[in-house]
Chains A and B, each alone.
Chain A
């Protein structure tokens, strides 16, 4: 059980004027995965040897792979052989028109059986559908979407090489040539396996620092092949324990940079210098460490404007004993650890966070926070020998932790709202990947979670009396795909909200690029403004609430920089 401190002194949820408070006792999120046929069970070959890859979990992707208008889900799996009763390899679930998911893995050709870690989405050939990269402990796989419900493995032809332990990856256009390039975060050398022990000497998973970090990789998309420019770009100059990566233009120079979450080592912010060169400016930007100057065990990353100042802030999840860290951007684009003042630090101290989302779950016009938690070091409170338990049962007993849900008060301060989300927060799983998406197309954001050696969950958003919403897709007709790297803002009266347009997010995961805004009681947005990846700005007329719409580059009115 979560310590009682979680609910002491908790404030009531802040709701837009005119709304009634949500009903007490109603669970905000209900796991409907079995109900809708999203039957995925992760396995990682746990056999009591405490091998580090077993505990990392795997990621997921949410996207409309067959362009039929609803979201499908792809789960990465790690090991296929321990339990023949479980479905093997990675799995693709296609959503039918009635909201039921069917396993489409074999017909799609996406059943990679490598020791899977993460997945990255991106339209690498600008044909209007999403391709995907699967990262593994071992060779990664790149799949091209054939636009007919199938994928082709183009790894070798595309030049994706290596057999490292890769984790998160991100597609974005680093050189403004219209083609999505590829960053792959790598974790550690995993050889030889070490024996590690808990504080009392019981067998346990090692931390990453017993191994050496591995340099990440950067590939430039030349239209048919991906050229490895890790060395020439400077990315290969340092070897760190990379787990999470997002790309975003942090310094506003119209070039995408990479923020990498490193486990137990300084994070990196690879600033795009142009000309294919990158320099790590994480110290300068304030995201290398927490405000104490301490390297944290960074796992997942979420981007979002938590305080409504139209600047992207970043939240990184961390190990128990550390806090989740919220870096809030200032007027110079620098980021300051504001975990204490924002309230995100304290409630996260007891648990180990991985997947993370900043999303307006209650649609009151600010970003809330959902975190997937699960230990990496065994729980001292769960000590004791196995009594007929399987290795998987022992794993879950020793490492399961409750998830975390926090609600933004509109000023960038967060309160723990687990008491209203027992279904999500008291799940006793070792949670890892997390994404938010409007899976059931009802306008609000649901939460998908992957669990290491456990079943995936789909938490349907049942928050009562939510605000209105608007979903936007940003399309660039010239490159014929989503405008990855853009930011879009909407105005409600005097206030603005901003969202970055990204695929890569959270931990080992990747999402459809449609952005979602909560509007509170407003029945329309007054204006929409887009900063496109090339730095140009356009303003578009407002939009009524509660619909999905597409904003096309070149169809608005140009705004001076």
Chain B
């Protein structure tokens, strides 16, 4: 077994960077394959590492084989052996940027100086790769090397003038340097390009507040609550590496990400793999149940909800999602029991308040629904469906002015949501604001030309306008 310590690793990587990989690779320069203690690991991880290492044994002159083992180690957070493998892939393949690039990411977990050198090497191999340049810039910025970071971000912008991430990086540098107008302009453009990137709005709030732009600061502060997740540039090299992870935690995370993107069958497959690796926790069972429910497979879903709740009867997430499923299959009594219990057990769980509100709306208890949706938004302004439902509940009791308020807020986040704009148009029509209503219906039709409802209501509004 080769035990590779960080100290040796730093020296090895530094030598590699300095040499520029000029030497020919010979048998004597090929290192032993780094191995790790695999006892105790989950079986799929152990099997994967063994298989990929065995494959490398038979193909030790292949950069791809070294790189694959490096990626497998990297995916399982085994950075030190991953770096040894990447180092060899870099030596064997002097063109592919992904080896120094992935090595830089792994090194940034243990040694940022080595990571800087590796990013530079990746940049030499892919001088116009915006993702590489942004990652390099971020590392340099974190190290306090503002000038070098700015150069990298500017190079990224040259490579891709629509990169919001390069702009955010430049804005961070500008902010630290006190150049607020520049930071504002960069962040505003980044928000136009990637409006859901949660990393933009905390900074924009600060910039507006610092510049004395109170209204804009308030709006940015709200958007920071709505979009609370920072996004990262699309990165096929990192995605491919992460996709090799075979441990249950990574599979569950992948399933969750797939479910969030609506890829329910793929998410189901991941969650089933998790259950094949470890005994199902209530969360594992709930995840599977939820994706089954979303596919309309309610009976199967109820089975997994029941299994999860058997182990954890007070799990409000499970209760809440089970209640929603019960609502969908028309078992209102059971849904009532599940959702009420979830909301009572933890009134601060926003999804629980929202689901109960949805049930109340369905029961025609619109006032209760309004209160629950309002509470949901107080707890989590980012739960966007609650804006839609709150407006609908107000509209159901003919409070169209009140309905417009949450819908207009939602429009700030979802300017191209045709259903929302249709609702806004309808409320305006009911309030007698026919000019506005007609313009909004036209906008809704522009966004969704196939919507018969919008066309029908537009015709009605025009007819009323002619009558008036």
Contact = CB atoms under 8 A, between A and B. Distances in A.
B401 interface: no
Interface stretch (A3-11, A218-226, A441-449): A3-11
A511 B230 CA distance: 36
Nearest to B223: A283
Interface stretch (A60-68, A193-201, A532-540): A193-201
A3 B6 contact: yes
Interface stretch (B137-145, B383-391, B450-458, B460-468): B137-145
Contacts of B168: 293
A210 B283 contact: yes
Contacts of B203: 291, 293
Given A199-B76, A289-B202, A236 B144 contact: no
Nearest to B197: A293
Given A192-B315, A196-B249, A284-B205, A293 B42 contact: no
Interface in A219-264: 236-239
Contacts of A191: 312, 314
A158 interface: no
Contact of B206 (A196, A201, A212, A334): A334
Interface stretch (B16-24, B106-114, B330-338): B106-114
Given A199-B249, A288-B224, A283 B202 contact: yes
Contact of A198 (B36, B77, B201): B77
B176 A293 contact: no
Interface stretch (B52-60, B273-281, B296-304, B365-373): B273-281
A561 interface: no
Contact of B349 (A212, A237, A339): A212
Contact of A197 (B144, B249, B349): B249
A292 B206 contact: no
B379 interface: yes
A191 B434 CA distance: 54
A4 B7 contact: yes
Interface in B321-353: 346, 348-349
A142 to B, nearest CB: 24
A196 B247 CA distance: 11
Given A8-B113, A349-B112, A195 B279 contact: yes
Contacts of B146: 341
A201 B247 contact: yes
Centre residue among B109, B200, B209 by max chain A CB count within 10 A:
B209
Contacts of B314: 191
B210 interface: yes
Contacts of A383: 36-37, 40-41
Contacts of B278: 195, 197
B452 to A, nearest CB: 42
Contacts of B419: none
A345 B6 CA distance: 19
A37 interface: no
Contacts of A236: 348
A381 interface: yes
B348 A239 contact: yes
Contact of A338 (B79, B176, B198): B176
A194 B315 CA distance: 12
A266 interface: yes
Contacts of B37: 383-384
A200 B283 contact: no
Given A292-B199, A336-B175, A5 B206 contact: no
Contacts of A289: 199, 202
A457 B312 CA distance: 40
A194 B112 contact: no
Contacts of B45: 200-201
Interface in A331-373: 332, 334, 336, 338-341, 343, 345-346, 349-350
Interface on chain A toward B: helix, strand, loop, or mixed SS?
A: loop
A69 interface: no
Interface string A368-398: 0000000000001101110000000000000
Interface string A72-87: 0000000000000000
A201 B277 contact: yes
A150 interface: no
A231 to B, nearest CB: 10
Nearest to A380: B78
Contacts of A295: 228
Contacts of A384: 37, 39-40
Assign chain A's interface to a size class.
Answer: 35 or more
A201 B42 CA distance: 5
B291 to A, nearest CB: 18
Contacts, number: 169
Given A202-B40, A345-B142, A293 B221 contact: no
A383 B109 CA distance: 18
Given A3-B10, A340-B141, A202 B202 contact: no
A543 interface: no
A198 B40 CA distance: 11
Contacts of A197: 42, 247-249, 278
A385 B40 contact: yes
A321 interface: yes
Interface string A258-289: 00000000100000000000000101101011
A294 interface: yes
B70 interface: no
A237 B39 contact: no
Interface string B188-216: 00000000011111110110011000000
A506 interface: no
Contacts of B144: 340-341, 343, 345-346
Contacts of A266: 228
A189 interface: yes
Contacts of B249: 196-199, 201
B209 A334 contact: yes
B150 interface: no
A520 interface: no
B282 interface: yes
Contacts of A196: 249
A293 B203 CA distance: 7
A321 B109 CA distance: 6
Contacts of B228: 266, 295
Interface string B44-64: 110000000000000000000
A140 interface: no
Nearest to A320: B109
Centre residue among A195, A200, A237 by max chain B CB count within 10 A:
A200
A199 B77 contact: yes
B121 interface: no
A323 B175 CA distance: 19
B363 to A, nearest CB: 27
A494 to B, nearest CB: 23
Contacts of B142: 323, 339-340, 345-346
B461 to A, nearest CB: 40
B176 A341 contact: yes
Nearest to B142: A340
Contacts of A334: 206, 209-210
Contacts of A5: 6, 10, 111-113
Contacts of A178: none
B172 interface: yes
A199 B78 contact: yes
Interface string B286-328: 0000000000000000000000000110111100000000000
Nearest to A4: B7
A215 interface: yes
Given A239-B349, A293-B199, A383-B37, A194 B283 contact: yes
Nearest to B227: A293
29 contacts: A4-B7, A192-B282, A192-B315, A196-B249, A197-B247, A199-B245, A200-B76, A201-B43, A202-B40, A266-B228, A283-B202, A283-B205, A283-B225, A284-B206, A286-B206, A292-B230, A293-B168, A293-B200, A293-B202, A294-B199, A323-B142, A330-B210, A336-B175, A336-B206, A345-B144, A380-B36, A383-B37, A384-B40, A385-B40
